[in-house]
Amino acid sequence: MVILDLLQGGSMLGSYLNPHALQPAEVLTPQLLFDRFLSWNEYRKETLAWEKTENCDPDLWKGHLCCDGHFRYSHEYDDFMRYFCHLDMMTYADKGFDRDLLKGFIRRFNLKYDTNRVAKIFNMSAIEWFNHLQK
């Protein structure tokens, strides 16, 4: 599908599929899920997955309903949210990933991580993230 779209003049975003997205029936530990989320987030930022393209309907783009790529992107994010809930790392009442939530994951599950990778999620320096963890 991706190759066919590219041959027909499409863009990678039009056929967006993050290679780090969760797959059906995967069994992940909290550490593996956290690592996969970091990789997924890095790829998402590298490809500017949320950016509107010239083919996107502006009204539908707001809800990521405009094209296959944006539709997949929003579902990949939701898949991570559901898996984090499945492992009791968050609840369905949580609105999304924030600094305090990730700090809670790290502490509760004793997760290993690269400070720079986590800091990039929030556009922080490694020192700022380290200081946040100390609070």
Whole-angstrom CA distances from 52 to 10, 42, 82 are 14, 18, 26
Q: What is the pTM of this model?
A: 0.78
Q: Is the pLDDT of residue 28 over 90?
A: yes
The predicted-structure confidence for 118-129, as pLDDT tens digits, reads as follows 888 888 888 988
- Taking each helix axis from N to C end, the angle separating 126-134 and 99-109, rounded to the nearest 10 degrees, works out to 70
The predicted-structure confidence for 83-109, as pLDDT tens digits, reads as follows 999 998 888 777 777 888 888 889 999
Span 6-24, average pLDDT: 63
- Helix (H) / strand (E) element for 120: namely helix 115-121
Q: Using the CB atoms, write b or e for 82-101: b if 16+ within 10 Å.
A: ebbeeeebbeeeeeebebee
